[in-house]
């Protein structure tokens, strides 16, 4: 008579099949996955904090100091203001100064750019400062960036704000055929390349 296999001998002779092993693994990993999933979702949410605006460089860039004393450069998200040497560039900067300089604002960070500036929406007293720059004719809606990243509701509001400012000829729209800053920068780069090529001849 053959003795029945016991313990380790039984497991060695008849190992678990792959389905059984998979089920056992899932029993242990699913609770951990369920725990980590909300944390992963939170990690995707924009970072938000308050800071004091210590300086305004131009119509879409400011310097801030946070509650811990850390100094940062902030680029206003989804708008593009005239460069300082463009028409309305100084006026755009001065308008942003009046809105936020020496004020404690809330920053919602969306990204960091190649210049290590935090890309942010700035709010003060419930007002979206980025949108205010568009509404007051001090910036364009940066559609080439916004259409990929901005949420649909804000995208529509920013676009409508620009349309109203343009229709009413507010700020930069009072001028004839204002040149968008991204087009201006492209012109500047092309001129610089042409100058460099000429110097090499």
> Of the ranges 31-35, 39-43, 47-51, which is most confident?
47-51
In tens, the pLDDT along 132-173 reads 999 999 999 999 999 999 999 999 999 999 999 999 999 999
Instruction: Kindly report the number of other CB atoms within 10 A of residue 27's CB atom.
Output: 9
DSSP for residue 105 = E
CATH no., domain 48-173: 2.40.50.90
In tens, the pLDDT along 20-39 reads 555 555 555 545 444 444 44
Report which of residues 12 and 166 the model is more confident about.
Answer: 166
pTM over 0.95: no
Residue 150, both tokens: 């901005």
Please give the sequence-ordered ranges of beta strands (E in DSSP) within the chain, or none if there are none: 47-58, 61-66, 71-76, 79-80, 104-112, 118-124, 127-128, 140-141
What confidence category does residue 41 fall into, taking pLDDT thresholds of 50, 70 and 90?
A: very low
Half-sphere exposure of 157 (CA within 13 A, CB side): 13
* Domain spans, the chain: 48-173
- Give the pLDDT confidence score for residue 195 in this predicted structure: 76
The conformational region for residue 7 under phi > 0 = left, psi -120 to 50 = alpha, else beta, is left
- Give the pLDDT confidence score for residue 85 in this predicted structure: 97
């Amino acid at each position: 008579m053959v003795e029945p296999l016991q313990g380790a001998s039984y497991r060695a002779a008849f190992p678990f099949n792959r389905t059984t092993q998979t089920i056992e693994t899932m029993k242990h990993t699913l609770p951990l996955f369920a725990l980590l999933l909300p944390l992963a979702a939170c990690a995707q949410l924009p970072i938000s904090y308050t800071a004091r605006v210590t300086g305004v460089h131009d119509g879409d860039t400011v310097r801030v100091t946070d509650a811990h004393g850390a100094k940062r450069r902030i680029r206003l998200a989804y708008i593009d203001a005239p460069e300082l040497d463009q028409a309305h560039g100084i006026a755009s900067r001065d308008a942003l100064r009046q809105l936020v300089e020496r004020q404690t604002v809330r920053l919602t960070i969306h990204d960091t750019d190649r210049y290590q500036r935090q890309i942010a929406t700035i709010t003060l007293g419930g007002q979206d400062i980025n949108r205010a720059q568009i509404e007051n004719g001090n910036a364009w809606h940066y559609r080439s960036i916004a259409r990929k990243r901005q949420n649909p509701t804000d995208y529509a509001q920013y676009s409508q704000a620009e349309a109203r400012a343009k229709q009413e000829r507010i700020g930069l729209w009072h001028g004839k055929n204002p040149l968008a800053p991204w087009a201006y920068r492209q012109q500047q780069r092309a001129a610089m390349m042409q100058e460099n090529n000429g110097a090499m001849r």
